[in-house]
């Protein structure tokens, strides 16, 4: 947390959205950490599901994991990642997904960045 009370989260997380999440929990950082852990666990599963769907031919099989990761990412403040997932979800609803592999790779890389930012944020505020 910075001197002004805001969280110092990397560029992959919108600090205003993350601050709102903290406010909704009443500032209970242990609960926020649980929410983050759940997001990271579920997000890893959704990325894996995207990769599995891609290997199976992509298309409409990409919709559900893209939708789930989108919603959860936007709630945690991962706006860019959420946008990538939204785009994939919308395109996958039509069937064929141009550049599907590149889109899934971008989402996987975005999730890795978000994970790192959230882990670093926790590390900064946790005494050694």
Which pLDDT tens digit goes with each residue over 17-71? 999 999 999 999 999 999 999 999 999 999 999 999 999 988 899 999 999 999 9
Q: What is the widest separation between alpha-carbon atoms in the chain? A: 50
Return all residues near 127 (Cβ < 8 A) that are at least 6 apart: none
Does pLDDT of 7 surpass 80?
no
Instruction: Give the confidence band of 72 by pLDDT, cuts at 50, 70, 90.
Output: very high
* Percent above pLDDT 90 for the chain: 83
pLDDT at position 103: 97
Q: In terms of Cα–Cα distance, which of 70, 62, 16, 83 is closest to 43?
A: 70
pTM above 0.75, yes or no: yes
């Amino acid at each position: 947390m910075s001197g002004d009370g805001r969280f110092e989260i990397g560029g992959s997380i919108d600090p205003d959205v993350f601050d709102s999440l903290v406010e909704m929990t009443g500032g209970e950082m242990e609960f926020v950490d649980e929410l983050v852990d759940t997001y990271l666990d579920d997000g890893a599963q959704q990325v894996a599901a995207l990769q599995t769907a891609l290997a199976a031919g992509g298309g409409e099989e990409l919709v559900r994991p893209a939708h789930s990761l989108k919603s959860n990412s936007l709630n945690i403040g991962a706006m860019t990642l959420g946008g990538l997932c939204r785009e994939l979800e919308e395109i996958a609803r039509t069937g064929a997904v141009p550049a599907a592999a590149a889109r899934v790779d971008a989402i996987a890389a975005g999730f890795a960045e978000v994970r790192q930012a959230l882990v670093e944020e926790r590390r900064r505020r946790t005494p050694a």
